[in-house]
Structure 1
Amino acid sequence: MKTIYLILISLIILISCSEKKKQEGFVLSGTITGAKDSTLVELLKDNKVIDSTFVFNEKFQFSGKVNQPTDMVVAIKNTRNWRPIWIENNEISFSTDIDNFKKALIKGSQTQKEQDIVTQQTDSLITLYVSISEIMRFDTTISKNIFDSLSLELKKIDSLDTFINKEFAKNNPHSFVSLEIIYYNKKKWDKKLINNLFDSLDENIRASERGNSISHYLELGVNPVTGDHYIDFEQPDTNGKMTKISEIKADYIFIDFWASWCGPCIEEIPFIKEAYHKYKDKGFEVVGVSLDVSELQWKNAIKKYKLDWINISDLKDFESDAVY
């Protein structure tokens, strides 16, 4: 009988240790079919590389610990192969092939499952939205009636996408995905709605880093709408001198929020340059407000793309008060 007790106690200890070990952190094991040995894979958070490793026999692995479910990105360095992923302290698998990287199958993350629910409903909408936008932007042969019809379709798509995201956030107060939805739409949606959705979230989610950012946003003034006077702000320029928007002498000021890592922002630069050089002698000024966090990357981008207008940044990414 004593032997049985000892065996039971040993089993309990082993199970307890196993569970404790499992909860200590995450292990992300990946397979990339077709990837060559020494392919560099990066794990990024908010555009910052937090870890990197090499592929060997089409496999890679990351390990670490997060305080809460955290949205990150798995990417192959210097390529367009990247895939968002929710990391939790669990064993997570990542399976894909080199030609369909963004379609990677992810298992072992409950938050990722929740994200997939939203993604499956919105992916086709986003694809359609981009396709219509490109037609409107580049096809110069379409008539005004067709252009107006396409504009109406974009509004319908945007409304449906908004509805899907709102419903998920409203019906899933225990999910960090809901927090991300609220965070990324806080400047797009009505502030009262943001406040109501945020208040419905679990306390531990509201107390997270993203939650604190939303709280700060809600403490600020009401959302400006088209026609309102701008909210003044100041930030340092490339020489460290504080530049205040209200002190810039110009009849028209175009404020361009951008970042060195933002592909769509970079694509818009030629159009901004064209307008700037055409109207700068007629009271038109451009102020580039960078959301970079790296001073070096910010300044290098200014030099690379020859941005010869006013450039300012507090290097705080989306946490900059100017964004709010």
Structure 2
Amino acid sequence: MNKIFFFIATLLLCSACTSRPEGFVIRGSFPGLQDGMMVSLRSMEGGAILAMDTIQDGKFELHGVTASPQYCNLIISSNTSSSDMSKMVNIYMFLDNSELTVNAAHLDSLQFVHPLISETAIPKARVEGGPLQREFYEYRDTLTPLLLTASEVNNALAMLNMQNDQYTTEEYNNRFDELYPKKLTTEAAIDAAKMEFIRQHPQSPVSLFIAEGLLNTTFIRTAEEIKELTRIAEQIEDTVRRPRVLKMAEIAKTLYKGASYKDIELTDPTGKTVKLSQYILPDHYTLVDFWASWCGPCRWAIPDVKQIYKRYPQDRLSVISISFDQKKTDWETAMKEEAMPWTQLWTGNRDQVTAAQRAYNISGIPRLMLIAPDGKIVFSGNDANALRVAVEECLGK
């Protein structure tokens, strides 16, 4: 009798296992879909096309497997031979291996939303199926109004920058000083909302996705926040994203808010190997500008750095420029052209480049930093005007 019971239980268990979806299925059938239209699913975290289908009988069905839940873009195109966005609509979703259904009032209610504004666009379609989709929309619904507010401020700052030739320096700085605190306030609200979502959903793959973005910033997270994000990430079941996030957390542990600068080897104009610490003077604030001759935004920031340099005495503020140029001649030519009257250093070989990039997690330039007399980094960013505000807060206007 026990053998029969065990045999039946085994069959039921195997049946349950085979009934579980091994991948994802995405179905859609709503007004406006026409036979022959193409539907494709593209990862927003790598660009790969994960599945494709042609609409038949007014519906589509996509099949595939994702190794890890990921942010995706579902595109419906009425013309396969054209890249004209007017002939496309898209829907952003968070994909996992579930049976999902796309619902919309009508195809005409949808539009093509560029990835750059996807976070602030109000979704006109909903993807349903499983708790992950509900969590994703909960996150979107919480963040969207905050992101819209931030977008308004960022747009105003962008417009100010485009029209800077219409202002005197004083007028421009005054207008920037009005907008920049609003930018910081909106960013802090977004940051707090993301952290709160993660705390409320400590097991969610969406939280792991958010944590990855938070940990990719430098000198913004507190050491306690990094520990908290690490602790939460460790318990989320995701064999692909979790190791990546934990590796980022290890790096972030040395790049937390209020961390001290890291010493690196560099090359001076005579070709001598030196250390950054040789130029960090006691009782001084130190402005460090990572740049390169070929980097347009880097060159545009130099006049602003010059204004800061001229404004404060050298016994209070030191300035150091560190070039990422590959060729020494390019660096030397740019130094002459820009006529920068402060310390010039260079990452003169591949080891120095790699060490500098790793020390400060530099993925783009310019990178502007302000180091306090105690060695702590009090500002890190790419905006010379934001740097100016930080310097004024530390040294006075």
TM-score (norm 1): 0.62
Aligned to 1:37: 35
Question: Offset at 1:19?
Answer: 6.9
Aligned pair count reads 250
Counterpart AA for 1:208: T
- In the alignment, does 2:334 pair up with 1:282? yes
Match of 1:197 among 212, 215, 229: 229
Q: 1:303 maps to what in 2?
A: none
1:216 alignment partner, one of 237, 244, 247: 247
Relative to structure 1, the CA distance from residue 251 to residue 218 in structure 2 (aligned partners, 3 Å threshold; closer, same or farther) is: closer
Supply the distance in 2 between the matched residues of 1:75 and 1:214 (Cα, whole angstroms): 28
- Unpaired segments ≥5 residues, structure 2: 1-7, 78-82, 112-122, 266-288, 304-329, 339-360, 365-397
- Are the counterparts in 2 of residues 122 and 164 from structure 1 also a CA contact under 8 Å? yes
When Rg is computed on C-alpha atoms for both structures, the one with the higher figure is 2
1:123 aligns with 2:144: yes
2:60 match: 60
Structure 1 moving runs of 4+ over 6 Å: 12-16, 224-227, 229-232
How much does 1:133 deviate?
1.8
Offset at residue 69 of structure 1 (A): 3.4
Measure the CA separation in 2 of the matches of 1:14 and 1:103: 42
What is the 5 A alignment of 1:206-245? 208-220=239-251, 222-223=254-255, 228=261
Kindly indicate whether residue 100 of structure 2 is the aligned counterpart of residue 92 of structure 1.
yes
Match among 98, 106, 111 for residue 127 of structure 2: 106
* Shift, 1:272, TM fit: 4.6
1:251 and 1:124 mapped to 2: Cα distance?
35
Question: 3-state DSSP class of the match of 2:248?
Answer: helix
SS at match of 2:242: helix
Q: Give distance in 1, aligned partners of 2:128 and 2:208.
A: 21
Tell me the CA shift for residue 167 of structure 1: 0.8
Matches within 5 A, 1:148-227: 148-188=177-217, 189-190=220-221, 192=223, 193-201=225-233, 203-205=235-237, 208-220=239-251, 222-223=254-255
Picking from 253, 262, 267, the partner of 2:292 is: 253
Q: Judging changes above 3 Å, is the alpha-carbon distance between structure 1 residues 111 and 230 closer, same or farther for their aligned structure 2 residues?
A: farther
Post-superposition CA distance 1:43-76 (Å, at most 9, x none): 1222111221222344221112344533322123
Q: Distance in 2 between matches of 1:135 and 1:31?
A: 41
- TM-superposed CA distance for 1:90, in Å, is 2.5
Partners of 2:69 and 2:216 in 1: how far apart? 23
Q: What letter matches 1:163 in structure 2? A: A
- State the partner residue of 1:50: 50
- Label 1:65 to 1:21 Cα distance change in 2 as closer, same or farther (>3 A): farther
1:81 and 1:14 map into 2 onto residues whose CA distance is: 44
- Over 3 Å counting, the alpha-carbon distance change for 1:58 and 1:152 in structure 2 is farther
Q: Deviations over 1:214-270 (max 9, x none)?
A: 2222333722889957979xxxxxxxxxxxxxxxxx9942797xxxxxxxxxxxxxx
AA partner of residue 39 (structure 1): M
Per-residue deviation at 1:151?
A: 2.0
1:173, distance to aligned residue in structure 2 (A): 1.3
Aligned equivalents of 1:38 and 1:218: distance in 2?
46
Output the CA distance in 1 between the equivalents of 2:294 and 2:138.
36
Percentage identity across aligned positions?
Answer: 17
Which letter does structure 2 place at the counterpart of 1:72?
A: C
Does the CA contact (< 8 Å) of 2:27 and 2:100 recur in 1? yes
Aligned to 1:132: 153
The answer for the alignment partner of 2:22 in structure 1 is: 24
Q: What's the C-alpha RMSD, in Å, of the aligned pairs?
A: 4.3
